[in-house]
Amino acid sequence: MVTIVPISEEEKMSILTGLRSRVPATKLVTLKKIADIADLRPESLQYLEMVDKRSMQEIIQSIEKIYEMEQDEIIKREALITLQKVKKALGSKFTIEVPRCNKCNEVIDLGWNYCTNCGSDIDKMVFENFNRCSNCNKYILENWTYCAHCGTQLKEKKERTPVCPQCRRPIDPSWMVCPYCGHRLRRIKRS
């Protein structure tokens, strides 16, 4: 069994800040850090992509932007290597289509009404691979249970599997102690 060491919030923010930095050395160190994560713990990137698609797409988009815009050939080469490693780590999950603004090509969230980069109205854009809500006719994502715009139920809710608050692994509701990390899940009631 593979133990997933998730990318912490601090690590994620450090990566995003490093990729946006104007300091070449900071960009280079950040790219190398991401490449190391892709090599040594690819499951961490897969987990991040699963629980926080927006951050994962922002990381990928930042790496692509560095590759396209960077003048320094060493950083440009490192960005290409890192991008290839990230894509390899994500495997088929990388093929998820991400909606982009029809005007400025920035990644957008279909739950928004306007592009945060150029202000274009998302309702007036055309996305061939995304459906619209039957109630409000706004774009929706396939994995939504409820429409983010009008609240209409789009599909039946699945029961969530409970997880341990300590290690975040799936647990059985009847367990007293998590078998993975030993965290006490419930107290014994004494009569």
Examine the fold and report which residue of 95, 119, 144 is the final residue of a domain before the chain moves on. 95
The token pair that represents 10 in the structure block: 């601090």
In a domain, 68, yes or no: yes
**Would you tell me how many other CB atoms lie within 10 Å of the CB of residue 21?**
14
pLDDT in tens, 75-128: 999 999 999 899 888 875 544 567 889 999 887 888 888 998 899 999 999 988
Give residue 75's pLDDT. Answer: 93
Examine the fold and report which residue of 95, 114, 140 is the final residue of a domain before the chain moves on. 95
CA distance 116 to 148: 17
In a domain, 4, yes or no: no
Count of domains forming the chain: 2
pLDDT at 138 over 80: yes
Q: 90 and 166 in one domain?
A: no
Examine the fold and report which residue of 95, 128, 146 is the final residue of a domain before the chain moves on. 95
Mean pLDDT of 131-143: 89
pLDDT in tens, 23-78: 999 999 999 999 999 999 898 998 888 888 889 999 999 999 998 888 888 999 99
Give residue 191's pLDDT. Answer: 56
Give residue 62's pLDDT. Answer: 94
Mapping DSSP onto H, E and C, the string for the chain reads CCCCCCCCHHHHHHHHHHHHCCCHHHHHHHHHHHHHHHHHCHHHHHHHHHHCHHHHHHHHHHHHHHHHHCCCHHHHHHHHHHHHHHHHHHHHHHHCCCCECCCCCCECCCCCCECCCCCCEHHHCCCCCCEECCCCCCEECCCCCECCCCCCECCCCCCCCCECCCCCCECCCCCCECCCCCCECCCCCCC
pTM of the model: 0.48
- Domain holding 24, by residue range, is 9-95
pLDDT at 159 over 80: no
pLDDT in tens, 3-24: 677 888 999 999 999 999 999 9
In a domain, 47, yes or no: yes
In a domain, 44, yes or no: yes
In a domain, 126, yes or no: no
Q: 91 and 164 in one domain?
A: no
